[in-house]
Structure 1
Amino acid sequence: MANILTTIFGTRELSIFSTALKITDFDKILAEQCDFTIFAPNNLAFAQLSKVHLRILTDDLRLLTEIVSLHIVPARLGYRELLKMCKPGDRGVSVTSIDSSQIQIDLTDGIEIGGATVLSTDVTPCNGILHMIDRVLMPDPVDQIDRSTPPIDRQEVLG
């Protein structure tokens, strides 16, 4: 059975996220350790970023590392585990990312994490769980960047 890193690297729709994992050295962490949940943005999620966001991602390694870390939870959390964490009457739960950031997960209608919709859930390689999402999660200050800048052309991102 493949590990979580092999699964991500082998998924064409996650090639940009795979590159971000390599650049930030999270690939080494995911290869060596177990029990991670990855909320991996697909290539279309990156294509939706504005040119300003994309420029920031390519120019600032510290910020890229912070952004990638928001997508990694150091625990094995499938859909059932997330539902079990919900208290009666709650719509969702808060989970802690690998960098100790709190991320809200809404379980009202499927799964949404930080405003991103989970497109596929519970892919279970041997050392974790992978959920593919439709948006790149951003730390709050970065998320406040001028949104009037148009999204980048998809072909520019995907090559």
Structure 2
Amino acid sequence: MTLLRKTALALMMSGLVATPALAGHHEGKDKAVGTIVDVAAGNADFETLVAAVKAAGLVETLSGEGPFTVFAPTDEAFATLPAGTLESLLKPENKDQLVSILTYHVVSGKVKAADVVKMDSATTVNGQSADITVMGDTVRIDGATVTATDIYASNGVIHVIDTVIIPD
């Protein structure tokens, strides 16, 4: 592991603090507090993500055995999409596109923050690869900044991101 990655890992593990709404899910290493869907549904910062997961028909999948790693965009991240984009994606006729976008935020397996910083890319559930970059104490996946890490669920882990990432 390079010095840069070691430093980034140390800074990430010590410097990223969950928002108050997420702090309860951050207590206790690997503490399972429900499925990924349960954890997201129990957090006011993920109302849009949960609505999108429901519209895409992915609740059962993301409540399944897993494990999954979800790079979860906040409501603020969804709000930065161009006007009308979210409303369009939530329409039944655009379900395939919504599924493609949401599954681009999911990686098979339980990939903790300590593992993410060692990666250059991750193959997402939709089959495409997302680029991961570490610069100083900032970790990005396809340009989205990871703002909180290692929020544990019974079937995986959530890392919070500040931007909705869009597959090619």
TM over 0.5: yes
Name 2:114's counterpart in structure 1.
Answer: 80
- What does residue range 52-63 of structure 1 map to in structure 2 within 5 Å? 52-59=84-91, 60-63=94-97
1:68 aligns with 2:107: no
2:29 corresponds to? none
Instruction: Provide the residue aligned with 2:131 in structure 1.
Output: 104
Aligned to 2:151: 123
Aligned-partner Cα distance in 1 for 2:35–2:55: 19
TM-score (norm 2): 0.74
Measured after TM superposition, the shift of residue 62 of structure 1 is 1.2
Q: Which moved more, 1:67-76 or 1:101-110?
A: 101-110
Q: Name stretches of at least 5 consecutive residues in structure 1 with no aligned partner.
A: 87-91, 141-159
Moved over 4 A (4+): none
- Across the aligned residues of Structure 1 and Structure 2, the Cα RMSD in angstroms comes to 1.4
Q: CA deviation at 1:67?
A: 0.6
Kindly provide the amino acid, as one letter, of the partner of residue 44 in structure 2.
R
SS across alignment from 1:107: strand
- Deviation of the 1:54 alpha carbon: 2.8
CA shift for structure 1 position 100:
1.0
Equivalent residue runs for 1:9-158 within 5 Å = 9-59=41-91, 60-83=94-117, 86=118, 92-109=119-136, 110-140=138-168
**Matches of 1:25 and 1:58, distance apart in 2:** 11
Q: Which 5+ residue runs of structure 2 have no aligned equivalent?
A: 1-32
% identical equivalent positions: 29
Alignment partners' CA distance in 2, 1:138 and 1:56 = 15
Q: Give, in angstroms, the shift of residue 53 of structure 1.
A: 2.6
TM-score, normalised on structure 1? Answer: 0.78
**Which residue number corresponds to residue 147 of structure 1?**
none
CA displacement at 1:55 relative to structure 2: 4.4
Amino acid at match of 1:58: L
